[in-house]
Every structure is written in structure tokens, then in C-alpha cells.
Structure 1
Amino acid sequence: MLSAEIVRACEQAMKEGSSSFYHAFKFLPSPKKEAVFVIYAFCRMIDDAVDEPEKSIYTLEELEYCLENLDRVEDHHFIWPALKWLFAHFPLTKNPFYTQISGQRMDYVKTAYQSMDELEEYCYRVAGSVGEMLLPILHDQPNHLAMKSGIALGKAMQIVNIIRDVGADQKLGRRYIPLDIMTKHGYTQAEFEEKVINWPFKLLINEMIYIADEWFKEGLKYIHTYPRESAVSIRLAAGYYREITQVIQENEYEVFTKRAVVTNTRKGKLFLQLTN
């Protein structure tokens, strides 16, 4: 089993990185709970290497190299013994982690998206891959239908992240909202750059929320095949993320300067609704 110190470090990374994810998965029994903490902590490091390189202790290339050579990497950071434990105790491969890295690498070269098809590929790589990582931990007998469903759930959550983080991503010089959806609703690049929130902007955000909801439905389609404790965590994660879109609408679609936050009170109400 992992040392208490390593578990605490991975758990803290999840607490700080996504309270919604943490509140959803902290109820899992051991060792599934610890495995989710490890996966999140490593994915957080991959993301930080791209978005906050000045704060990251590893570059993306170093993380990829260490993952490739995990058996030979010294345990000079808590993530390496954690990953060694993960792969030794659960039937998952490194492939989805490489997919995750490839998706984050896209941010180096692609700062704007022209179509929803392009964005879906990105969402698969950076978030659908997380569904692939989690499935062997959360499901006792995963099959291709459950895998497809897990990928859809990850993509749905990434769309929510994109909507919520429009302003933060704009500061990094990125526009994930596809140009074809903007054009469809009569919203221009100039308006985007000027942070204009008008009716066309609300329509395009609503369309992206609809796309996310369709993927959420796909992601929950086979929830009945999961062990009960895993199913509860997945429902909570989906519910918390869906609630973010509700907060965005309540905030009058102000996503340029205001981050939508689901309060603990709202999480508590959702918990009671989704676990009864």
C-alpha cells in the first residue's frame, strides 16, 4: 500500500485542483480512492507543465520520459512511487497517459479551434483519456461500451471546463470555442477579443452546454454496470460539473471575468439528490 505521506500529497493535489472531482471521488473505498488521487495528481502535473511552466518542477518532456522509464526512475518525487504502485495494483496501461500528454502538447501549437470536430479530438485527448484511465479502477468488468461511455463523460467535463474558463484561456491567448459555432450564431472574433456578452454569445454558450449534456447522457448510459460505490462517485462528478453550467447561466454568461463556482452548499444539496 502507498505510504500515508504519498496518499496525502496526491489527495491534496486533487483538493486544490478540482473540488468537484474531489468531493465526488473521496467516498470511494480503498484502494480505488487512492488510485483516483494518483491519477488526478499526475494529470495535474501534466496540465501545469503546459499552463504554468514557471511553477512546474517538470517539463512535459521530462514527465513523458519518466513515465516511459518508470521502472528506472528514482523516487525523488511522490508521483513516481505513486504511479509504480498504481500500475502494479490495477489493470491499466500507460497508453491513456500518453494520449493525455499528446493533448496537452497541442496547446503549444494550437491556440484557436475552427470546428467542433477539431475540439472534440482535443477533448478526447485531454479528458476522454482520463475516462480510459479511470475505467479499470472503477469498473470490475469493463468492456468497449463502458469505455466509450467513460470517454464521453470525460469529453463532457472538458466542454464544461472550456465554457467556465473562457476568460482565463483568453489571457493565455487561447480560444477553444469553435469558430464554426461562433459564426453560426453571428458572434465575431472581434467581439470575443472585446469580451462582448450579447445574445449571440449566450446562444453559442447554450449550444456548447447542449453538446456537453449529450455527452453527459452518453457517459451515464452504462452506469448501472458499475459497482454501487463507483456509480455514486460518477453520478456526483457528472452532477457537480453539470451544475457549473447552471451557475454560468445564473451569472448571465459572464465567463470572461468571473469564474463559475459551485458552492459547498449546492454540492451538499446535489449529494442528497444524487445518492438517494
Structure 2
Amino acid sequence: MDTELAAAYDRCRELHRRHGRTYYLATRLLPAWKRRHVHALYGFTRYADEIVDRTDGLSAAERASRLDDWAGRFLAGLHGEQVDDPLLPAVLHTIAVFDLDRNDFAAFLKSMAMDLTVSSYPSYQHLLDYMEGSAAAIGTMMLPILGSSDPVAAREPARQLGFAFQLTNFIRDVGEDLARGRTYLPDEDLDRFGVTRHELAEASARGRVTPAIRALVAFEVTRAQAHYAAAAPGITLLAPASQACMRTAYALYGGILDEVAAQDYDVFARRAVVPGRRRLSVAARSLLAPTGTPVVVPGPPTRPALDRVDHEVIAAPRRTDRQ
């Protein structure tokens, strides 16, 4: 591997280590030759996210221009042109090694561009359309690297795991997304529980949810867990050397939802984080589990928060004064 390519892989690994602690820990359980390719995909997605969300002081139009410029360099690299970029050589090399579907990368970049202009989603179907690029496509990008005994059967579980991971992030990060002017909780769900964006913002500022918001979050946890359940059969279809990694990622991301439930669905009181001791314990158990061991599917959330509002809010007239 030449110096420039090795440096690009190192750059991707550092982005992964610094910003994706949960997934980075799981990736440590992969064979070394696979790790760098996972780091490359993470670096690609993270760098695009940095342009969209962390270029402070730039207008949406300026961020869009930066994203277009970077995407242009990426597309040029796909066509064999020399690319002057600190991490794209690693991404392009990974795509070539595994013959990854270019359409997944186009779908991802399209969703990133949506974040510059779309601040909310009317329905869950609209959100799923966004997550086709931002989540499901990442699952299918990863599948050839992880390897599978039956890639066709493993494809839909990989997509579902992408949905599950991203919904987990949306639930945990409601406050952070509000600060960026976005909500990823569908408008129809807010209406169902009688919650407005203004009320979400007020609760975030107070650091405390209302009963209706608590019920809303519990509902979204239930929805995310349905995606985890749909993804579970895919873990045992992966190559033996990849199962410990994804079993760990599955358990740790699902564990974030456990932490949300443990704080009674108050996502504004503190950021839900799986404790370090539990993270290491999960990784150790996954590494020692025999090949083919099924993952433990998350159970339904504890019900009190949802039950308190099922009769009081869901049956009430829906709010239409969206703010």
C-alpha cells in the first residue's frame, strides 16, 4: 500500500475512533484486513456529515456548495481521475476491492443534501425515504465487506439494521437535532401524541420532558425495536469472522434504547450512553459466543409512560397548530 493510500486509511480510522466510539469498539473484533475498509466507509459518511452539520458560520447554500464540490471529487475518483483529498483514496480503494454498488453512495449523498433543506418529515414513510440513503444504503455498503453465506437473504436484514441504528440516534439526539433546526420524529407522530416542535424545544431547554413527549419517545423506541427484530436473522448469515463485530454493534446500539427507557424516556435529562463497563462486557461475550449464536432481540419498552397517555392523548383530538 502506497504512502498516500495508507495515510487516507489512517485518517478514516482516526475519524472513526474519535466520533464513532460504539461502532469503533465493535469494529475492533473484525480481522485487521477488514477493519480498514469499515473505517473507510465510516470516514466517508462522517466527513459528509461534518460538511452538513459542523461547518459553523456557513450558510446552507455555502454548505451545499462544499458538499457538491466534495461529491464531485468523489465521482471523479470513481471515474479513475486522481483525487487530491485526505480520505477519499481509501474510500475509492475500498469500493474497488469489494466492487461496492455506486448507487448506495449516490443515495447517501442525496440524503445528506436533504439535510440542508429539509427540517422535518410529515410521515414515517417520508422519513424512511430519507433513511434509504442515510441508513439502509450504509447497511448494504457494509455487507460485502462483512461477507455472508447468503448475500441475497442477508441484504434486507442489513437494511433493517441501518434503519434501527439511525432511529436509535434520532431518539437519543432529539435535542441536538432541534438545535440544528431539525426534527426526525415524524409530524404525524407528534400530532398523535399532541406535541408540537415548539413544545419539544421548550422541553429541551428545560432539560425535562412532558408526559406527552415521554409517551412519544416510548412509541419511537417501540418502532426502532421492530427494526432490530427484523435485522436479527441477518447476524448469523454473516461470515463467521464478522459475527462478533455485528453482534456487539447490535447489542450496544440496542443498549442505548435500554438507557433511554431506564431514564423513563427523558431524552433531555442527559444523553443516553451505554456505560463503559457494559460495553466491554458485551464485546467480550460476543467474541466468546460460538459462530451462529443468535442475537438477543430487544424486548418491548417498559409500558408505564406509554400507558399513561394511550387513553388521555391518543384518543384526544389531534393537534394541528404545528410550530
**Structure 2 counterpart of 1:52, from 50, 54, 57:** 54
Q: How does 1:130-169 map to 2 (within 5 A)?
A: 130-169=138-177
* Match status 1:258 vs 2:260: no
Q: How does 1:1-276 map to 2 (within 5 A)?
A: 1=1, 3=3, 4-54=6-56, 59-70=66-77, 71-195=79-203, 197-256=209-268, 258-275=270-287, 276=289
CA distance in 2, matches of 1:142, 1:9: 32
Normalising by structure 2, we get a TM-score of: 0.79
Normalising by structure 1, we get a TM-score of: 0.91
CA distance in 1, matches of 2:264, 2:211: 11
Q: Stretches of 4+ moved more than 6 A in 1?
A: none
Q: Show CA shifts across 1:183-225 (max 9, x none).
A: 2223233321311612221221111111111111111212222
What amino acid sits opposite 1:261 in the alignment? V
Shift of 1:91: 2.3
In the alignment, structure 1 segments of 5+ residues that lack a partner are none
CA RMSD of aligned residues (A): 2.1
Q: Show CA shifts across 1:145-191 (max 9, x none).
A: 31111111001101011011111111111111112112222323332
Shift of 1:42: 0.7
Q: Answer yes or no: is the 8 Å Cα contact 1:25–1:36 preserved in 2.
A: yes
Shift of 1:140: 4.1
What amino acid sits opposite 1:250 in the alignment? A
In the alignment, structure 2 segments of 5+ residues that lack a partner are 58-62, 290-323
CA distance in 1, matches of 2:92, 2:128: 31
Q: Show CA shifts across 1:116-159 (max 9, x none).
A: 11111122210111101101111245533311111110011010
Structure 1 residues 194 and 63 mapped into 2: Cα distance closer, same or farther (>3 Å)? same
CA distance in 1, matches of 2:201, 2:9: 42
Q: Answer yes or no: is the 8 Å Cα contact 1:99–1:125 preserved in 2.
A: yes
Q: Answer yes or no: is the 8 Å Cα contact 2:158–2:234 preserved in 1.
A: no
Shift of 1:75: 4.5
Q: Show CA shifts across 1:41-69 (max 9, x none).
A: 0110111111112499x821012111211
Q: Answer yes or no: is the 8 Å Cα contact 1:149–1:222 preserved in 2.
A: yes
CA distance in 2, matches of 1:259, 1:23: 19
What amino acid sits opposite 1:232 in the alignment? A
Shift of 1:73: 4.4
Q: Show CA shifts across 1:53-101 (max 9, x none).
A: 2499x82101211121105544433312212321231121221111111
Q: Look at both structures and tell me which one has the larger radius of gyration over its CA atoms.
A: 2
Q: Answer yes or no: is the 8 Å Cα contact 1:220–1:235 preserved in 2.
A: no
Q: Answer yes or no: is the 8 Å Cα contact 2:8–2:88 preserved in 1.
A: no
- Report the count of equivalent residues: 275
